[in-house]
Amino acid sequence: MAKENLERTTNEHEPDITKPTADEIAVVAANKDAVETDPRVDHALGIFSDLTALEVSSTEVIAAKEVVTTILVRRPKKNEFVRVQETTFTTFLYQDVDEGAYYFIEPAMRPHFITGTVIKVLVPAVNQLGLPFIWPVPADDGQTSRNNSWNESHRGAYQQAKTKWTKMVSDRMARQYRVYEAGGNLPDPQFCNLPFNQQIALAFRGINTISDPEHPILRAMRGDIP
């Protein structure tokens, strides 16, 4: 008897679920169509009323063209692979070792320098991320009494970078740069599309060109008080 009462109580609390009639289904469908065709709905949704028109593929990009406004003069970093173009420009530079900066010396200013000048072969380069820079490669040591292993290995990295993605890492124990070739399949280099003389002008504009005896570098070299 207790079992029968329990079953009766349970059944009394169960909802009365019945299937909708055909007329009820027709009413729901009609209301849905009315909402979809109501112009007020489209107005409320704005541009999101049709998501298909806004959808993009994973390979689609927004059209844009990068404008190069500055280019650094530096050697490759130890954590990047680089490639170079064949174009070169050999010139005198002043190298600020403490700041890691290079200054172009106009010909008339060269006699004013006591020390700090170097001859570099400037080369347009780019790293694996597409960032352009100008690589100052040491010029040939010429008729010096002994070879410079740093410069030789540096030039070796530059020569390899003409055809292969190259990394160079300093080895102080061996007193040279260790040169590596990329093991992965890096894409073809995307070099800066500016003519090389324009790249040079961007790199040495303003104070980065020494064209006057009163340039801060020359004043400091003479010991003039600012």
> Which one, of 149, 168, 148, lies nearest residue 158 by Cα?
168
Residue 42 has a pLDDT of 64
**Which of 200, 224, 177 has the alpha carbon at shortest distance from 71?**
200
- Taking the C-alpha atoms of residue 101 and residue 72, their distance in angstroms, rounded to an integer, is 9
Given the structure tokens 């694996």, which residue do they identify? 128
Counted residue by residue, the chain has a size of 226
Give the count of beta carbons closer than 10 Å to the beta carbon of residue 219.
14
Neighbours of 215 (CB within 10 A): 19
- Calpha distance 94→99 (Å, rounded): 12
DSSP state letter for 14? S
Phi-psi region of 105 (alpha: psi -120 to 50; beta: other; left: phi over 0): beta
Q: What are the pLDDT digits (tens) for 20-60?
A: 666 666 555 556 555 556 666 666 677 777 888 777 776 66
Per-residue DSSP letters for 36-96?
Answer: HH-HHHHHHHGGGG-HHHH---TT-------------B-PPPTT--EEE-S--EEEEEEEE
pLDDT of residue 68: 78
**Nearest residue to 103 via CA among 114, 87, 91:** 91
pLDDT of residue 158: 98
pTM: predicted TM-score of the whole model, two decimal places: 0.70
Mind spelling out the 3-state secondary structure of 163-198? CCCEEEEEECCCCEEEEEECCCCCCCCCCCCCCHHH
Q: 157, exposed or middle or buried, with CB in 10 Å at 0-12, 13-18, 19+?
A: buried
Residue 114 has a pLDDT of 85
Q: What is the 3-state secondary structure (H, E, C) of 97-143?
A: CCCCEEEEECHHHHHHCCCCEEEEEEEEEEECCCCEEEEEEECCCCC
Residues of the chain with pLDDT under 70: 1-44, 58-64, 142-146, 225-226
Inter-residue long-range contacts of 193-202, CB under 8 Å, 24+ positions, other chains counted: 194/68, 196/85, 196/87, 196/89, 196/124, 199/68, 199/71, 199/124, 199/132, 199/134, 200/89, 200/104, 200/122, 200/134, 202/68, 202/69, 202/70, 202/71
